């Protein structure tokens, strides 16, 4: 029984270490995505500021202002694309973690089933051995009674035979 408890403890310890390693990768990816989101937010703030810049005559926007705004907006879009790529990686990590959990659960269930089958076989064999042992004990008891009976019969026979010999010797003398 202690072997099983030890085996289960080792299994869960190794599972936690494996899950923690995946959690570290997942956490690193989340940090990367959060950093990209901050960068996007900062760039969008710059874009918003660039829309309010008016360096032209009469407070109008110049071509340069519009190009600058468009360039900042293009960088926001590129950052969004990077965010989508990194989110895809993050989702892949999550899917991989879920698949690993399913595999580990299946393996655990399979091991548990195997342990249960082994325990059942051992219990059946134990019952069979106990039955054989009780048969052997009963057989030993019968042989013991037979031996005791034979010793008694031999003793009684010897006693009767010795009495007959003594009575025969008394008659002949």
Q: Would you write out the chain's pLDDT as a tens digit for each of its 173 residues?
A: 555 555 556 655 655 544 555 678 888 888 988 998 898 888 888 888 887 777 666 667 778 888 888 998 899 999 899 889 988 988 888 888 889 889 999 999 999 999 999 999 999 999 999 999 888 887 777 888 888 999 999 999 999 989 888 888 877 76
The pLDDT value recorded for residue 52 is: 78
All structural domains of the chain with their residue ranges: 2-141
> pTM higher than 0.75, yes or no?
no
The pLDDT value recorded for residue 20 is: 55
29's CB contacts (< 8 A; 6+ apart) are 86, 89, 90, 93
Please state, in angstroms and rounded to a whole number, the distance separating the CA atoms of residues 32 and 93.
Answer: 13
Contacts 24+ apart (CB under 8 A), 18-27: 18/100, 18/104, 19/97, 22/93, 22/96, 22/97, 22/100, 25/93, 26/90, 26/93, 26/94, 26/97
């Amino acid at each position: 029984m202690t072997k099983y408890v030890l085996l289960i403890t080792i299994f869960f310890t190794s599972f936690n270490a494996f899950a923690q390693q995946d959690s570290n990768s997942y956490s690193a990816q989340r940090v990367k995505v959060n950093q990209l989101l901050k960068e996007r937010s900062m760039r969008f703030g710059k874009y918003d500021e660039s829309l309010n810049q008016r360096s032209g005559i009469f407070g109008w926007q110049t071509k340069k202002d519009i190009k600058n705004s468009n360039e900042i907006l293009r960088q926001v879009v590129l950052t969004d694309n990077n965010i989508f790529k990194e989110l895809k990686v993050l989702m892949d990590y999550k899917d991989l973690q879920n698949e690993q959990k399913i595999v580990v659960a299946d393996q655990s269930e399979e091991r548990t089933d195997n342990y249960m089958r082994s325990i059942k076989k051992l219990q059946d064999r134990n019952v069979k051995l106990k039955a054989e042992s009780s048969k052997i004990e009963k057989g030993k008891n019968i042989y013991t009674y037979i031996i005791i009976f034979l010793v008694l019969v031999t003793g009684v026979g010897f006693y009767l035979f010795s009495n007959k010999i003594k009575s025969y010797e008394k008659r002949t003398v």
